[in-house]
Amino acid sequence: MESFNFFFPTRIVFGNGKLANLGEETARLGRQALLVTYPSQSLKSAVDQAVELLRHNGVETVLFTDIEANPTHIQVNSGGEAARASGCDVVIGLGGGSAIDAAKAIAVVASEAADIWKVYEGQPLTRPSLPLVAVPTTAGTGTEATFFSVISHRELKRKEGFARPQFYPTVSIVDPILTLSLPPYMTAATGLDALSHAIEAYYCRASTPVVEALAARAIQLVSENLRRAVFNGKDIVARYNMMLANTLAGMAITQSDSCLAHVVGEAVGAVYNTGHGVSVAVSLPATMEYNCFAAMDQMANIARWMGEDSFGLTTREAAMLAPGAVRTLIEDVGLPLGLAALGVTENKEVMALMLRPGMDASSPRPAAQADFELLMQACLSSAMSYWELGGK
């Protein structure tokens, strides 16, 4: 019976082949587009198609490919300069989460002529940002449906996710066909990132009834389709359902928050430069065990949505199945069960990042230093779970 708000300003154009609508959708927003993407061979065909679709609809394209897997504030600032220098009036992000996150930030600095890091540090925005079109080519980050952008600052050794209303894309063209050529490992890592968004958005303290509806469907879709997508990349039904799960989970997390798997995964990623999806996914089972009895009803529902048989079980018994269901899925799709397999060791820098004030704010169960230390041990280990290590 709780009160809640719901606001979602992005127009989602979803479906197989919907990339074809890119030109028409962009032409409503501008005449000169900065297309932000990676200089990657695997994206070449999608980029060529995009440029042609835009040209056909009277939109000129300026390509900006000077970004990398973890885009930096310097790259964002030079993207903004490129947009201003060539008179762009709309920005398109095409690629995985990094391309779209960079495009979100570039759309802000293009009109504001500011340093994005200063904006993050509190410099007020005085001008509306350029309209933004997001075209995801992976099914995981959900960034096409969120107001988050993750940007790194190399000198400060920081990698931060920032939330700003301006980061909601104006339009997102979500075409599952663009994920058909995604290799199995990337499919697994990004798909489990989507699962972690749905699970954490649902059980964390910021959840709402709308988040529950979105997360329930996303969790079911990942549980039923991720194995299929990993083991047969051309399975269009599985790809469609994973893309849908990705967008629903993005909508869920942008209304709610992430939780401790993202706290651990992002701290590890900032220090070891490990991929976001895999770092968060591997941290998910232990952090769910940590929160199992603080969010018991939610964990019992997660177990059911993941297909666990809870007939005749108590809520407590059903809840305890949820972390194991995630662990089985991680194992089935070929990701490691412990962060140690990614080269991560116990590390003071990682611990310091996790212990910053407020990092446990959305966790149903608060976490102090001793809790994070045991959690980290469990996340590192592929053999022992948090409970097996004696964690309660």
Binding site for Fe ion (CB under 5 A): 193
Instruction: Rank residues 193 and 308 by Cβ distance to Fe ion and give the closer one.
Output: 193
Instruction: Rank residues 193 and 371 by Cβ distance to Fe ion and give the closer one.
Output: 193
Q: Are 94 and 43 in contact (CB under 8 A)?
A: yes
**In angstroms, what is the minimal distance from the CB of 317 to Fe ion?**
29
**In angstroms, what is the minimal distance from the CB of 148 to Fe ion?**
9
Q: What is the DSSP string of 324-381?
A: HHHHHHHHHTT--SSGGGGT----HHHHHHHTSTTTTTT-SS---HHHHHHHHHHHH-
Q: Are 33 and 91 in contact (CB under 8 A)?
A: yes
**In angstroms, what is the minimal distance from the CB of 248 to Fe ion?**
14
Sole residue written with tokens 């941290």: 283
Q: Are 299 and 322 in contact (CB under 8 A)?
A: yes
Q: How far is CA 330 from the centre of its chain?
A: 17
Instruction: Rank residues 61 and 283 by Cβ distance to Fe ion and give the closer one.
Output: 283
Q: What is the DSSP string of 118-138?
A: HHHTTPPP-SPPPPEEEEESS
**In angstroms, what is the minimal distance from the CB of 16 to Fe ion?**
25
Instruction: Rank residues 61 and 146 by Cβ distance to Fe ion and give the closer one.
Output: 146
Instruction: Rank residues 175 and 193 by Cβ distance to Fe ion and give the closer one.
Output: 193
Instruction: Rank residues 148 and 372 by Cβ distance to Fe ion and give the closer one.
Output: 148
**In angstroms, what is the minimal distance from the CB of 270 to Fe ion?**
13
**In angstroms, what is the minimal distance from the CB of 128 to Fe ion?**
28
**In angstroms, what is the minimal distance from the CB of 238 to Fe ion?**
21
Residue nearest to Fe ion (CB): 193
Instruction: Rank residues 193 and 257 by Cβ distance to Fe ion and give the closer one.
Output: 193
Q: Are 264 and 375 in contact (CB under 8 A)?
A: yes
What is the rounded radius of gyration, in angstroms, for the C-alpha atoms of the chain? Answer: 20
Angstrom distance (rounded) from CA 90 to CA 319: 47
Instruction: Rank residues 112 and 193 by Cβ distance to Fe ion and give the closer one.
Output: 193
**Lookup: tokens for 373:** 């230390």
Q: Are 191 and 333 in contact (CB under 8 A)?
A: yes
Instruction: Rank residues 140 and 323 by Cβ distance to Fe ion and give the closer one.
Output: 140
Where does the chain have alpha helices with state H?
Answer: 22-27, 44-56, 73-85, 97-112, 116-120, 184-203, 209-231, 236-255, 260-272, 276-291, 296-305, 315-319, 322-332, 348-354, 369-380
**In angstroms, what is the minimal distance from the CB of 267 to Fe ion?**
13
* Residue 146, CA distances (Å) to 133, 252, 368 in order: 13, 9, 29
Which of 211, 132, 243, 174 lies closest to 12 in space, CA to CA? 174
* DSSP bridge pairs for 13: 173
Q: Are 234 and 181 in contact (CB under 8 A)?
A: no
Instruction: Rank residues 25 and 193 by Cβ distance to Fe ion and give the closer one.
Output: 193
SS3 156: coil
Angstrom distance (rounded) from CA 187 to CA 239: 9
Long-range CB contacts (< 8 A, 24+ apart) of 153-156? 153/72, 153/73, 153/117, 154/72, 154/74
**In angstroms, what is the minimal distance from the CB of 170 to Fe ion?**
23
**In angstroms, what is the minimal distance from the CB of 310 to Fe ion?**
27
